[in-house]
């Protein structure tokens, strides 16, 4: 008896499996850290891409064909990024990829997509190297770290009037790249940083580093890295009694930053550079409303991911689903998205970047600094 | 001056925690000659149990900090002890008489299982616990100050208390004598009527309990953890155990303190980029001069 039940279940599972494959017409990969310490960002990516695909499928798909998304988990590790990229192009037959999140994953994966002729649009990887490699298939709908570092350094000098800046990074492609970009602009303005050091990703005790920050008497601590290190760092900074202003980049734009820091009081006043409020575009009103109606606040990179999916779909639909032609097409045409009109330069960077400064408050929310 | 003193405090708290976890590595190695690679993950499990225990206690309306901390310590140490026992029972006892290599691989497998089990059951995201104990004491030293949070003081107090109690148990009680006898000669001990399987189980439980102490303290102090948090701290604690002489209980504590202090002083006075390089170079140097670690006894080859 139970045996037949098992058989039947297996059979229906097999049928269900076959059915999903048959429906899948255009396969698009969504690659990012879906597990691990940075999974909060993977969720933003997935939510954005999922909603975009659902909206597009509901209005007829790409030239009548339905989008099927494939989740690819790179855990924000370069090695795993390469293997999931290979899987996406070989066994999933993806024509395009929205992702990856971390620059250190996007850069090695981009070469695999290039060889396979797959279109890649990253919503979040900001390291300059990604597009400076000169690959024809790579685009991003976010800014670059040299632009972000510029905004941060100008703010430190013009608005904060700080002279003693400590620069900390997490020794990863994104974090160190951002810290270096900020430092370069700072130095160009004639301010030399009082300290420049790296910490180890995955560690939680930064007390020794913080005592050193205290010893150089820094006014501003600039951190290039992600929220899982930024949280303990800012908390331990406050616990050791330092009142230095803490500033970081788009790597901390997640609600998890608050829980990782332990309590909102520690992050009160933390400054952060990020693109101008993605929910403020008139074109994206219904999308934002749609997210909120389903009980999800489109924080951080969610709308960027939505936008990346729109860019992919537009490029494919205008070019008979050919990703290589689509990539060429993107360089000379603009796409209307939920975040306004987006156009790309020869490298695949946005022609306009819009980094602004945000500040976290004692309630654990962030808002733009005027 | 104030900076050096502050770094000493940082190093001491970090080192005492390394020491607590190193005890688990060293005792297991001492008694069955294997390196328990799943030990770092036992620590990680205890961080999750800490969060669950705090949630439970606050759910029942308990709000006073001393009761929460004592309750959490008690619950976490007990549950993690059960984990230690179960891991030995499932992954190591069936391999008791096979080669050392099989047990080692079984340990690595156990480590992966624990990580994935926690990831699946608790989610892959970073988890956090709220700050329960705030405030700090501040000493003025010269122009500067040394600031020690109450949480750090609690860490120092509880870890030294834990080490003290354990040393007493091993040195003075019947259970401790049984452990030491089994460590010296397992066959002889069993001939003399000691249930060595039971002793080995006990050692695993003690190791897990010490890791749980560290887990509660660190989780309360840093507030954040994820399923991968046992990896780095496990490696550091293992290094501490080797540094102090693997198999030696006071060696593990000493190794932990030396490692913590050297990391803090090097990061603070020279560079935090290369603090791990420095710690491991120190390990290599000590092993060149004393191959069995600082307090380890050289293994006598029996002919």
pTM: 0.84
pLDDT tier at A263, thresholds 50, 70, 90: confident
Please answer yes or no on whether B272 and A212 come within 8 Å at the CB atom: yes
Contact A66, A26 (CB under 8 A): yes
Interface A-B: count of C-beta contacts within 8 A: 120
Query: What's the start-to-end Cα distance of chain B, in Å?
Result: 55
**Where does the pLDDT of residue A80 fall: very low under 50, low under 70, confident under 90, or very high at 90 and above?**
very high
Closest CA to A172 of A209, A203, A142, A211: A203
Q: Please give the Cα distance from B76 to B91 (Å, whole number).
A: 22
Q: Which two tokens stand for residue A229?
A: 């290190």
Cβ separation A259–B128 shorter than 8 A: yes
Q: Is the pLDDT of residue B116 over 70?
A: yes
Which of B132, B151, B268, B270 should we substitute to test contact with A (largest number of A Cβ atoms within 10 Å)? B268
* Contact with chain A for residue B74, Cβ under 8 A: no
Residue A234 has pLDDT above 50, yes or no: yes
Q: Please say whether the beta carbons of A338 and A323 come within 8 A.
A: no
Cβ within 8 Å, pair B128-A260: yes
Q: Are B229 and A202 inside 8 Å of each other by CB?
A: yes
What percent of chain B is predicted at pLDDT more than 90?
65
Task: Name which of B11, B40, B125 to mutate to probe chain A: the one with the most chain A Cβ atoms within 10 A of its Cβ.
Answer: B125
Q: For the segment A4-39, what is each residue's pLDDT rounded down to a tens digit?
A: 555 555 444 444 444 444 444 899 999 999 887 788
**Short-list B293, B273, B93, B297, CA closest to B201:** B93
- Provide mean pLDDT across the span B140-145: 82
Q: How far is B201 from chain A (nearest CA, A)?
A: 31
Please list, in sequence order, all residues whose beta carbon lies within 8 angstroms of the beta carbon of residue B102, skipping any fewer than 6 positions away: B95
Mean pLDDT of A275-280: 87
Report the b/e string of A44-78 with b at 16+ CB within 10 A: bbbbbbbbbbebbbeeebbeebebbbbbbbbbbbb
For chain A, how big is the Rg over CA atoms in Å? Answer: 22
Mean pLDDT of the region A219-226: 96
Minimum mean pLDDT among A82-86, A300-304, B137-141: which range?
B137-141
Q: For residue A36, give how far its alpha carbon lies from the nearest alpha carbon of chain B (Å).
A: 5
Structure confidence at residue A292 (pLDDT): 94
Nearest CA in chain B to A233: B222
Is B263 an 8 Å CB contact of chain A? yes
Whether the CB-CB separation of A39 and A260 falls below 8 Å is answered with no
DSSP class of residue A66 equals P
CA B112 to chain centre: 19
Cβ distance of B222 and A228 shorter than 8 Å? no
Contact B267, A209 (CB under 8 A): yes
Is the pLDDT score of B218 beyond 60? yes
Of the CA atoms within 13 Å of residue A74, those in its CB half-sphere come to 33
Task: Give yes or no for residue A141 having a pLDDT over 90.
Answer: yes
Residues of A in contact with B11 (CB under 8 A): 208
Candidates A76, A101, A205, A243, partner chain B, best to mutate (most B CBs within 10 A): A205
Q: Which residues in chain B have their CB less than 8 angstroms from residue A35's CB?
A: 119, 124
**Local structure of residue A241 (DSSP, 8 states):** T
Task: For residue B128, list chain A residues with Cβ-Cβ distance below 8 A.
Answer: 231, 256, 259-262
Whether A262 has its CB under 8 Å from any CB of chain B: the answer is yes
Residue A115 confidence (pLDDT) above 60:
yes
pLDDT at B302: 57
Determine the distance in angstroms separating the CA of B163 from the nearest CA of chain A, rounded to an integer: 22
Write down the pLDDT at residue B300: 65
Percent of chain A whose pLDDT exceeds 90: 78
Runs of H (alpha helix) within B91-173: 100-122, 150-172
Of A205, A228, A240, the CB nearest to B14: A205
Which helix H or strand E contains B173, and what residues bound it?
none
Q: Give residue A97's pLDDT.
A: 96
Q: Is the per-residue pLDDT at A274 higher than 90?
A: yes
- How near does any CA of chain B get to the CA of A351, in Å? 34
The backbone torsions φ and ψ at residue A350, rounded to the nearest 5 degrees and listed phi first, read -65, 145
**Whether pLDDT at B237 is above 80:** yes
B26-71 pLDDT, tens digit per residue, is 999 998 888 999 999 999 999 999 999 999 999 998 888 889 999 9
Question: Residues with Cβ < 8 Å from B218, sequence gap 6 or more?
Answer: A204, B17, B47, B155, B233
Q: Do the Cβ atoms of A256 and B222 come within 8 Å?
A: no
B207 close to B87: Cβ distance less than 8 angstroms: no
Q: Residue A35: what pLDDT?
A: 82
Structure tokens at A330: 């993107």
B55 interfacial to chain A (CB closer than 8 Å): no
Chain mean pLDDT for chain A: 90
Phi and psi torsions of A155, nearest 5°: -65, -45
Strand partners, B127: B225
| Span B88-108, average pLDDT | 92
Q: Does B275 touch chain A (CB under 8 A)?
A: yes
Asked if A211 and B10 come within 8 Å (Cβ–Cβ), the reply is yes
Q: Is residue A1 pLDDT above 60, yes or no?
A: no
The structure tokens listed for A240 are 């050791």
Question: Smallest Cβ distance to A262: which of B130, B136, B263?
Answer: B130
Name B141's bridge partners.
Answer: B144
- The contacts of residue B248 (CB under 8 Å, 6+ apart) are B26, B30, B293, B295, B296, B297
* SS3 assignment, position A165: strand
Q: Please answer yes or no on whether A228 and B231 come within 8 Å at the CB atom.
A: no
Q: How far is B213 from chain A (nearest CA, A)?
A: 17
Give the model's pLDDT for residue A4.
52
Residue A90, C-beta contacts closer than 8 angstroms, at least 6 positions apart: none
% of chain A with per-residue pLDDT over 70: 94
The pair of structure tokens assigned to B71 is 């309750």
Q: What integer pLDDT is reported at residue A8 of this predicted model?
A: 52
The residue-averaged pLDDT of B16-25 equals 95
The closest of B57, B42, B53, B43 to B76, measured between CA atoms, is: B53
| Alpha carbon distance A180, A182 (integer Å) | 5
Q: What pLDDT was estimated at residue B138? A: 87
Determine the Cα–Cα distance for residues B93 and A327; give it in Å rounded to an integer. Answer: 59
Q: How confident is the model at residue B215 (pLDDT cuts 50, 70, 90)?
A: very high
Structural contact between residues A3 and A10, judged by C-beta atoms closer than 8 angstroms: no
Q: Which SS3 state, helix, strand or coil, does residue B242 take? A: helix
Distance (Å) from the C-alpha of residue A20 to the closest C-alpha of chain B? 25
Residue A15 confidence (pLDDT): 46
Mean pLDDT in residue range B144-170 = 92
3-class DSSP string for A270-316: CEEEEECCHHHCHHHHHHHHHHHHCCCCCCCCHHHHHHHHHHHHHHH
Alpha helices in chain A (DSSP H): 2-23, 39-58, 78-90, 103-116, 129-132, 145-154, 173-188, 207-215, 227-239, 256-261, 264-267, 285-293, 302-317, 323-330
Query: Which residue of A198, A204, A221 to mutate against B (max B Cβ within 10 Å)?
Result: A204
Mutation choice for B interface testing from A208, A236, A257, A364 by most B CBs within 10 A: A208
Q: Higher pLDDT residue, A105 or B279?
A: A105
Q: Are A117 and A324 in contact (CB under 8 A)?
A: yes
Q: Do A35 and B218 touch (CB under 8 A)?
A: no
- The Cα–Cα gap between B28 and B257 comes to 20
């Amino acid at each position: 008896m139970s045996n037949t039940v098992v058989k039947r279940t297996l059979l229906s599972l097999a049928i269900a499996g076959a059915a999903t494959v048959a429906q899948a017409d255009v396969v698009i990969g969504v690659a990012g850290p879906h597990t691990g310490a940075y999974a909060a960002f993977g969720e933003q990516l997935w939510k954005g891409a999922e909603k975009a695909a659902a909206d597009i499928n509901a209005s007829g798909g790409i030239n009548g064909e339905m989008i099927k998304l494939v989740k690819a988990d790179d855990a924000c590790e370069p090695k795993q990024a390469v293997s999931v990229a290979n899987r996406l192009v070989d066994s999933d037959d993806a024509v395009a990829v929205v992702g990856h999140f971390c620059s250190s994953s996007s850069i090695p994966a981009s070469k695999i997509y290039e060889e396979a002729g797959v279109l890649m649009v990253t919503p979040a990887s900001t390291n300059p190297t990604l597009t400076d490699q000169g690959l024809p298939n790579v685009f991003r709908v976010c800014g670059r770290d040299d632009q972000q570092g510029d905004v941060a350094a100008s703010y430190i000098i013009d608005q904060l009037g700080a002279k003693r800046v400590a620069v900390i990074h997490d020794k990863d492609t994104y974090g160190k790249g951002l810290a270096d970009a900020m430092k370069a602009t700072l130095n160009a303005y004639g301010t030399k940083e009082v300290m420049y050091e790296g910490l180890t990703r995955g560690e939680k005790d930064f007390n020794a580093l913080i005592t050193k920050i205290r010893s150089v008497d820094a006014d501003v601590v600039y951190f290039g890295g992600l929220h899982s290190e930024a949280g303990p760092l800012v908390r331990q900074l406050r616990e050791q009694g330092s009142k230095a202003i803490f500033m970081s980049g788009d790597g901390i734009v997640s609600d998890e930053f608050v829980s990782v820091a332990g309590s909102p009081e520690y992050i009160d006043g933390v400054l952060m550079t990020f693109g101008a409020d993605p929910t403020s575009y008139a074109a994206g009103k219904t999308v934002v409303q749609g997210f909120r109606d389903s009980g999800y606040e489109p924080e951080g990179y969610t709308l960027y991911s939505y936008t990346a999916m729109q860019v992919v779909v537009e490029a494919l639909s205008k070019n008979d689903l050919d990703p290589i032609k689509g990539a060429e097409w993107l360089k000379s045409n603009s796409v209307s998205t939920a975040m306004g009109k987006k156009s790309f330069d020869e490298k695949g960077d946005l022609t306009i970047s819009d980094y602004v400064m945000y500040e976290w408050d004692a309630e654990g929310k962030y808002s733009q600094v005027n | 001056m104030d900076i050096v003193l502050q770094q000493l405090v940082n190093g001491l708290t970090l080192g005492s925690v390394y020491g607590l976890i190193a005890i688990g590595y060293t005792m297991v190695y001492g008694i069955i000659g294997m390196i328990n690679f799943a030990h770092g993950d036992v620590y990680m499990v205890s961080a999750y149990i800490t969060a669950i225990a705090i949630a439970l206690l606050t759910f029942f309306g308990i709000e006073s900090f001393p009761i929460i901390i004592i309750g959490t310590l008690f619950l976490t140490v007990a549950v993690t002890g059960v984990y230690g026992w179960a891991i030995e029972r499932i992954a190591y006892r069936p391999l008791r008489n096979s080669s050392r290599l099989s047990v080692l691989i079984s340990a690595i497998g156990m480590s992966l299982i624990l990580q994935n089990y926690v990831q699946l059951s608790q989610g892959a995201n970073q988890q956090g616990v709220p700050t329960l104990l705030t405030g700090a004491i501040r000493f003025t030293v010269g122009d500067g100050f040394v600031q020690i949070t109450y949480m750090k003081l609690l860490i120092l107090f509880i870890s030294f208390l834990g080490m003290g109690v354990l040393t007493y148990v091993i040195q003075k009680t019947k259970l401790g004598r049984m452990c030491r006898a089994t460590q010296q000669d397992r066959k002889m001990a069993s001939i003399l009527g000691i249930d060595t399987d039971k002793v080995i189980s006990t050692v695993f439980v003690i190791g897990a309990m010490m890791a749980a102490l560290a887990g509660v303290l660190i989780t309360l102090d840093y507030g954040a953890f994820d399923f991968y948090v046992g990896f780095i701290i496990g490696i550091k604690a293992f290094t501490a155990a080797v540094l102090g002489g693997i198999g030696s209980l006071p060696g593990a504590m000493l190794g932990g303190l030396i490692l913590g202090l050297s990391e803090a002083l090097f990061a603070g006075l020279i560079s935090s980029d290369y603090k791990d390089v420095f710690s491991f170079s120190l390990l290599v140097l000590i092993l060149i001069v004393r191959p069995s670690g600082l307090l380890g006894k050289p293994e006598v080859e029996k002919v």
